[in-house]
Amino acid sequence: MNTLSLLLRFPHYRFLRKISFKSFHSNFTPGSLFPYIQSFNSVCLYCTKWMLPASDLKRGMCYQATVDQQTQGLCDKEQRLVDKLYSGLIQGHRACLAEAITLVESTQSRKKEIAQVLIQKVLSYHREQEKLNKGKPLAFRVGLSGPPGAGKSTFIECFGKMLTERGHKVSVLAVDPSSSTSGGSLLGDKTRMTELSRDMNAYIRPSPTRGTLGGVTRTTNEAILLCEGGGYDIILVETVGVGQSEFAVADMVDMFVLLLPPAGGDELQGIKRGIIEMADLVAITKADGDLVVPARRIQAEYVSAMKLLRKRSKVWRPKVMRMSAKTGEGISDMWDKMTEFHDLMLTSGELITKRRKQQKVWMWNLIQENMLDHFRSHLAVRDKIPLLEEKVLSGVLAPGLAADLLLKAFKDRP
Ligand SMILES: Nc1nc2c(ncn2[C@@H]2O[C@H](COP(=O)(O)OP(=O)(O)OP(=O)(O)O)[C@@H](O)[C@H]2O)c(=O)[nH]1
């Protein structure tokens, strides 16, 4: 049994099982995934690059060795590109930040490799900066989500302006899950946050996801790191729509804020209960004019509903607030609450623990995505998928059996 199989079998398998089936809809069962993992040679190669020298890792050597190994693999031109982007980025040049994010978003395998070298360099820079900052994270990462029309972009415009006026550098990464089907970024085509986009201390960037949850994880997480490297101390990650991307985003930020309009039950039906459980702060938007009364009512409803939720933190109970981006009322109070959350989480040590766990989730989500890509394109499986899917759809074949057949085909022909 190779090293990866051992690693997967013992320390991480339970974890993999947990994340695989929490965030991911497929026909796999934990049992059926296991042989698939075992015979997964190319993923092993990918992973061993990172995980094999476990003893070295303990000594803190593996990481540096990997960076060196990757850097040595670059040709002069590629090395110059990485150096140019890295130095421009840390000097705060927006054009370099934009180019660096484009690089990490690339789907070309070589560009992905170059992007990883850049990311490693930025990570090393982060660690140095955090050390100088007495171990405190460089930036506050906030996820913002809500149903379409909740007032997210109007809020971010108003909130972002307030923050830049207070001396912060704000980056807005708008996760756009529809970009894979539209072939481009919907958010990019829309005129949103016009004033904030002209602000030199703000950087707004749609973050295309290639339509997969893994896409959200990879590109957005890496874009967050790059923005932090570029000196942005507040990172707002906005998710549009109501779907899975919110869960992915909640797993990569320090604080998750849910924006809800003062609307009736019907309009909020698309909101998943699970996402409310993830919220550290619920903000009822548009609390102005005729909407003040419904906003108060919705606030009261959410205050009582959230009392019933399981406590996720020892130091923080989720809050429900009202605000209006139109009048500006409640926006400053929201920031006060957010900084209170940040300070409490930081001093209690929960923030650092949360970030560490997120790193691990990030790694396993990426492995999961790579494994699935490999599975789907595997010679023994690729041609069988449409037929078996068809049979499952028409009810001729049980999903479990179809999954077993595909996994067997995969396993038998490595
Ligand atoms: N009265 C009032 N209207 C608001 C407020 N904020 C936003 N709106 C209005 O609500 C509508 C939707 O606002 P957006 O900011 O585009 O909402 P969004 O959540 O970004 O919407 P999507 O981009 O579709 O996801 C617009 O017509 C805004 O003018 C507010 O504070 N008060």
Of the pLDDT bands very low, low, confident and very high (cuts 50, 70, 90), residue 56 is very low
For 240, phi then psi, to 5°, come to -100, 155
147, 36: one domain: no
Contacts of 340 (CB under 8 A, 6+ apart): none
Contact at 8 Å (CB) between 53 and 62?
yes
Per-residue pLDDT at 266:
57
- Shared-domain flag, residues 181 and 253: yes
By residue count, the chain amounts to: 414
Instruction: Say whether both 162 and 260 belong to one domain.
Output: yes
The predicted pLDDT at position 107 comes to 78
pLDDT band per the 50, 70, 90 thresholds, residue 411:
confident
Q: Average pLDDT, stretch 89-102? A: 92
Closest residue by CA, ligand 1 atom 12: 149
Residue 9 per-residue DSSP state: I
Nearest ligand 1 atom to the CA of 148 is 25
Say how many domains are in the chain: 3
> Which whole number is the average pLDDT over 333-359?
94
Alpha-carbon torsion 393, 397, 402, 405, what sign? negative
Shared domain check, 19 and 49:
yes
Nearest Cα neighbor of 30 from 45, 46, 15 is 15
Instruction: Indicate if 302 and 177 belong to the same structural domain.
Output: yes
**Backbone φ, ψ for residue 281 (5° rounding):** -150, 130
Cα of 141 vs its chain's centroid, Å: 11
1: confidence class by pLDDT, cuts 50, 70, 90: very low
Q: Which residue CA neighbors atom 2 of ligand 1 most closely? A: 286
| Ligand 1 pocket residue status of 20, Cβ below 6 Å | no
- Return the axis-axis angle of helices 41-51 and 350-377, rounded to nearest 10°: 150
Q: d(Cα 306, Cα 304) in Å, to the nearest integer? A: 5
Is residue 152 within 6 Å of ligand 1 at its C-beta?
yes
Two tokens, residue 181: 């089907």
The model's pLDDT over 298-324, given as tens digits with 9 standing for 90+, comes to: 899 888 888 888 888 899 999 999 999
CA 43 to centroid of ligand 1, rounded, Å: 44
What average pLDDT does the segment 262-280 reach?
Answer: 71
295 lines ligand 1 (CB under 6 A): no
Which residue puts its alpha carbon closest to atom 6 of ligand 1? 151
pLDDT score for 373: 80
350 and 384 together in one domain: no
Q: Strands (DSSP E) along 47-201, which ranges?
A: 140-145, 170-176
The predicted structure's pLDDT at residue 50: 40
Q: At 350, which CATH number? A: 3.40.50.300
| Residue-level pLDDT at 189 | 43
pLDDT of residue 267: 52
Same domain, 148 and 205: yes
Closest CA to 260 of 291, 220, 216, 304: 291
pLDDT at 101 over 60: yes
Q: Name every residue whose Cβ is closer than 8 Å to that of residue 406 and which is 6 or more positions away in sequence.
A: 375, 381, 384, 385, 388
pLDDT score recorded for residue 16:
37
In ligand 1, which atom is closest to the CA atom of 326? 31
- φ/ψ of 233, rounded to 5, equals -100, -10
Q: Give SS3 for 254.
A: coil
> Residue 243: pLDDT band by 50, 70, 90 thresholds?
low
| Per-residue pLDDT reduced to its tens digit, 349-389 | 999 999 999 988 888 877 887 788 888 888 888 889 999 99
What is the chain's mean pLDDT, rounded? 78
DSSP 161-188: HHHHHTT--EEEEEEETTHHHHSS-HHH
- In this structure, are 217 and 336 located in the same domain? yes
For the residues 318-342, what does the mean pLDDT come to? 95
The model's confidence at residue 65, banded by pLDDT at 50, 70 and 90, is low
Domain identity same for 334 and 279: yes
Structural domain boundaries enclosing 219: 136-354
SS3 (DSSP) at 52: coil
Lowest mean pLDDT among 54-58, 103-107, 337-341: 54-58
Query: Ligand 1 centre from 192 Cα, in Å?
Result: 10
Whole-number percent of the chain with pLDDT over 90: 39
Per DSSP, what are the bridge partners of residue 239? 145, 175
Judge if 262 and 201 occupy the same domain.
Answer: yes
Residues 308 and 179 both lie in one domain: yes
Residue 49 sits in the same domain as residue 109: yes
pLDDT higher than threshold 70 for residue 106 = yes
User: For the chain, give me the number of helices (H) and strands (E)?
Assistant: 23, 7
Q: What is the pLDDT of residue 284?
A: 94
- Tell whether ligand 1 has an atom less than 6 A from the beta carbon of residue 325: yes
Q: Which residue carries 């149903």 as its tokens?
A: 147
**Ligand 1 proximity of 319 Cβ (cutoff 6 Å):** no
Backbone phi, psi, residue 235, to 5°: -115, 120
Is residue 338 very low, low, confident or very high in pLDDT (cuts 50, 70, 90)? very high
Mean pLDDT along residues 291-303: 90
- Most confident residue range from 14-23, 115-124, 338-347: 338-347
Q: What is the pLDDT of residue 177?
A: 60
Continuous segment of H or E residues that includes residue 327: none
322 in contact with ligand 1, CB cutoff 6 A: no
Calpha distance 212→162 (Å, rounded): 33
Residue 180 has pLDDT above 80, yes or no: no
Sign of CA dihedral 202, 146, 247, 140: positive
The CATH number given to whatever domain includes residue 9 is 1.20.5.170
* Residues 282, 320: Cα–Cα separation, whole Å: 5
List 111's β-bridge partners, or say none. none
SS3 state at 321 = strand
Of residues 207 and 52, more confidently modeled: 207
Q: Which has the closest alpha carbon to 147: 1, 10, 347, 298?
A: 298
- Return phi, psi of residue 268, to 5°: -95, 5
Identify the pLDDT of residue 349. Answer: 93
